[in-house]
């Protein structure tokens, strides 16, 4: 063994303790740190030729890279839909790396069993029936892509071909209908060879991002043959929800596949006050839920559920001499794009084990409360205009006068040390979004964000 590796091995408990203290100090500083520091990236350094050990690497990281890291784990990073990591989720993630399991088959199965237990807990959390089988993937984009891959195989089944075996050309043209599909749906269609052009945008209800079921029915009549419907539970601008029961009825009447993107909207199901929004999650044929957003596990983690694991295994099976037959409960290696991956379920297992349904419900309800309070602040500010009622955890707003993308970018820039917001376009207007999904966000943070917004709007030049 190289002497430096031997020295680090001998000092491992000490080195881990140093790293732990470092991580604790970083997390402790999140409240004071600039949310997104304005710093140029360090010059790339050459590959180290010689071994200098973990302590030296930690010193270099701390000096060169850490100062530029955002406080995305903290309470006022409201860009995208981000989430943080609960204490238990973080501990679970550390142990994932420490144990370094690649548990995708019954040849070494404990991790795979732990993932199945976790999927069972997630099913119960979201009120899904046992008919839904699940697996963990790296994020909602991958979850949507896997769901669409299963849908593609289902279309093949209806047309008497197998795209997994014969290639996607055997399938013929495909229509994927959606009201306000997330950008990751088009990406998934591109990856799967179905093509971005397969996505047909169906009109939404007036002043809404939810699909108009009557318009969807007309599109299904015109389509003449089985389609894929992509339903949305929680759109990113206004957190609008499609009428899932109406869409499931259309699915039954017209013989379609119903994929549901509920990346963060599914979490409405945790709160009796908001559960009606996500009513009907269980009716989907495939379902995408992100875990690194509102479950507050570290990146990267999402779950994908489906009622047709047999079709899923047809797409993702990895036939190899050393892996067993598929059987009724296929090994994970046959269900997801990866053949090898970390024990991704462990952080989710830890946070669910530590805080349960009750703890995660409290996070959801506090985030919604924060969004409502900020929504009221924005509505009351002269220079700003709320673009939608706050349906759940996102506040979508713009400038009351001259709402150009440049002026909004200047506003976001002026705010960045105190709060991070991301740009969007809603109903043709450039806008900003504040999305609440971090477990640490407290009423005091919401007050700070409101005060920072008021000050920044006042100081914004008129042109
Ligand atoms: C975030 C999000 C996605 C993509 O999620 P990633 O985890 O970034 O891959 C897809 N759909 C919706 C509705 C989302 O909010």
- Judge whether residue 171 has pLDDT over 90: yes
Cα 177 to middle of ligand 1, angstroms: 18
pLDDT recorded at residue 326: 78
Q: Which token pair is 57?
A: 């690497």
**What does the pLDDT read at residue 225?**
86
Instruction: List the alpha helices (DSSP H) in 319-344.
Output: none
Are 124 and 361 in contact, with CB atoms under 8 Å apart?
no
Instruction: Ligand 1, residue 144: give the atom nearest the CA.
Output: 10
> Which residues are near ligand 1 (CB < 6 Å)?
81, 139-141, 144, 182, 184, 234, 236, 261, 263-264, 290, 302
> Quick one: pLDDT at residue 231?
98
Strand locations in 15-106 (E)? none
pLDDT score for 306: 98
Using alpha carbons only, give the angle 143, 149, 151 rounded to the nearest 5 degrees. Answer: 105
For residue 236, give the ligand 1 atom closest to its CA: 15
Atom of ligand 1 nearest to the CA of 234: 13
Span 410-429, pLDDT tens digits: 999 999 999 999 999 999 99
Q: Tell me which residue has tokens 């009716």.
A: 283
Length of the chain: 463
More confident residue, 463 or 47: 47
User: What does the DSSP 8-state code read for residue 69?
Assistant: -
Nearest residue to 74 (alpha-carbon basis) of 436, 370, 435, 441: 441
Task: Grade residue 320 by pLDDT with cuts at 50, 70 and 90.
Answer: confident
> Which residue in 83, 94, 2, 96 sits closest to 49, CA to CA?
2
Cα 419 to averaged position of ligand 1 atoms, centre (Å):
21
pLDDT at 325: 67
Asked whether the beta carbons of 351 and 361 are under 8 A apart, the reply is no
* The pLDDT of residue 319: 84
* Residue 301: predicted pLDDT: 98
Among residues 115, 87, 91, which one has the least CA distance to residue 101? 115
Residue with token string 């891959």: 149
User: How far does the centroid of ligand 1 lie from the alpha carbon of residue 290, in Å?
Assistant: 7
pLDDT tens, residue by residue, 201-244: 999 999 999 999 999 999 999 998 899 999 999 999 999 999 99
Residue 13: in which H helix or E strand, if any?
A: helix 12-28
What are 257's strand-pairing partners?
228
Per-residue exposure over 283-303, b if at least 16 CB sit within 10 Å of its own CB, e if not: bbbbbbbbbbbbbbbbebbbb
Using left for φ > 0, alpha for ψ between -120 and 50, and beta otherwise, residue 320 falls in: beta
**β pairing state of 228-232 and 286-290:** unpaired
Bridge partner list, 230: 178, 259
| Strands 228-232 vs 429-435: parallel, antiparallel or unpaired | unpaired
Residue with tokens 């279309």: 155
What are the pLDDT digits (tens) for 340-363?
999 999 999 999 999 999 999 999
Check whether 322 has a pLDDT greater than 90. no
- Residue 461, pLDDT score: 83
User: Ligand 1 centroid vs 140 CA: distance in angstroms?
Assistant: 5
Which pLDDT does position 324 carry in this prediction? 63
Q: Which atom of ligand 1 is nearest to the CA of 143?
A: 9
Supply the pLDDT for residue 224. Answer: 81
Separation between Cα atoms, residue 207 and residue 165, nearest integer Å: 44
- Judged against a pLDDT cut of 90, whether residue 102 lies above it is answered with yes
Helix (H, G, I), strand (E, B) or coil at 324: coil
The rounded mean pLDDT for the chain is: 96
Q: How far is the CA of 297 from the centre of ligand 1 (A)?
A: 15
Judged on CB neighbours under 10 Å (0-12, 13-18, 19+), 414 is: middle
- Looking at residues 107-136, what average pLDDT do you find? 97
Q: What is the mean pLDDT of residues 256-261?
A: 98
Q: Do the beta carbons of residue 154 and residue 308 sit within 8 Å?
A: yes
Q: Where are the domains of the chain?
A: 3-71, 101-345
Radius of gyration of the chain measured on its C-alpha atoms: 24
Q: For the chain, percent helix, then strand, then coil, each to nearest 5?
A: 45, 15, 40
Return the SS3 of 7. helix
- Chain centroid to CA 193: 23
- When pLDDT is averaged across residues 58-64 and rounded to a whole number, the result is 98
Question: What is the percent of the chain where pLDDT is above 70?
Answer: 99
Structural contact between residues 216 and 179, judged by C-beta atoms closer than 8 angstroms: yes
CATH entry 3.40.640.10 includes domain 101-345: yes
Q: Which region, left, alpha or beta, applies to residue 344 given φ > 0 means left and ψ of -120 to 50 means alpha?
A: alpha
463 — pLDDT class (breaks 50, 70, 90) = low
Contacts of 257 (CB under 8 A, 6+ apart): 150, 151, 154, 155, 226, 227, 228, 229, 251, 285, 286
Kind and range of the H or E run holding 197: none
Per-residue pLDDT of 11-25, as tens digits, reads: 999 999 999 999 999
Main-chain dihedrals φ then ψ at residue 452, nearest 5 degrees: -65, -40
Give bridge partners of residue 434 from the DSSP assignment. Answer: 395
CA–CA separation, 423 and 411 (whole Å): 10
**8 A C-beta contact, residue 148 and residue 171:** no
């Amino acid at each position: 063994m190289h002497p430096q590796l031997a020295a680090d091995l001998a000092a491992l408990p000490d080195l881990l303790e140093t790293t732990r203290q470092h991580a604790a100090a970083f997390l402790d500083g999140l409240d004071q740190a600039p949310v997104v520091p304005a710093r140029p990236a360090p010059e790339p350094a050459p590959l180290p030729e010689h071994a200098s050990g973990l302590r030296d690497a930690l010193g270099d990281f701390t000096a060169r890279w850490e100062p530029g890291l955002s406080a995305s784990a903290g309470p006022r990073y409201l860009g995208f839909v981000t989430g943080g990591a609960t204490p238990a989720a973080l501990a679970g993630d550390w142990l994932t790396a420490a144990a370094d399991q690649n548990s995708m088959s019954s040849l070494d199965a404990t991790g795979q069993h732990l993932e199945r237990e976790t999927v069972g807990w997630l099913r119960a959390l979201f009120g899904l029936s046992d008919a839904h089988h699940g697996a963990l993937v790296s994020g909602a984009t991958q979850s949507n892509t896997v769901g669409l891959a299963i849908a593609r195989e289902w279309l093949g089944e209806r047309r008497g071909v197998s795209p997994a075996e014969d290639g996607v050309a055997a399938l013929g043209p495909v229509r994927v209908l959606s009201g306000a599909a997330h950008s990751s749906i088009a990406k998934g269609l591109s990856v799967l060879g179905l093509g971005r052009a397969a996505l047909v945008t169906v009109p939404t209800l007036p002043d809404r991002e939810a699909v108009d079921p009557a318009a969807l029915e007309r599109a299904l009549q015109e389509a003449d043959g089985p389609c894929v419907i992509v339903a949305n539970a929680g759109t990113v601008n206004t957190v609008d929800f499609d009428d899932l029961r109406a869409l499931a009825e259309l699915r039954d009447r017209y013989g379609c596949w119903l994929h549901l993107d509920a990346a963060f909207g599914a979490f409405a199901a945790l709160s009796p006050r908001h559960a009606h929004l996500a009513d009907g999650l269980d009716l989907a044929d495939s379902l995408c839920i992100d875990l690194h957003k509102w479950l507050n596990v570290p990146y990267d983690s999402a779950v994908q559920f489906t009622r047709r694991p047999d079709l899923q295994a047809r797409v993702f099976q990895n036939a190899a001499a050393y892996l067993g037959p598929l059987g009724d409960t296929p090994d994970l290696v046959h269900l997801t794009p990866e053949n090898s991956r970390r024990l991704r379920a462990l952080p989710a297992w830890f946070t669910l084990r530590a805080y349960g349904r009750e703890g995660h419900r409290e996070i959801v309800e506090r985030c919604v409360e924060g969004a409502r309070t900020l929504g009221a602040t924005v509505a009351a500010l002269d220079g700003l205009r709320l673009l939608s009622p706050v349906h759940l955890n996102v506040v979508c707003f713009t400038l009351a006068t001259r709402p150009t993308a440049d002026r909004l970018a200047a506003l976001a820039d002026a705010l960045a040390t105190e709060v991070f917001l991301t740009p969007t376009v809603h109903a043709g207007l450039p806008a900003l979004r504040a999305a609440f999904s971090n477990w640490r966000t407290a009423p005091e943070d919401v007050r700070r964000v409101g005060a920072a917004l008021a000050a920044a709007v006042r100081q914004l030049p008129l042109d």
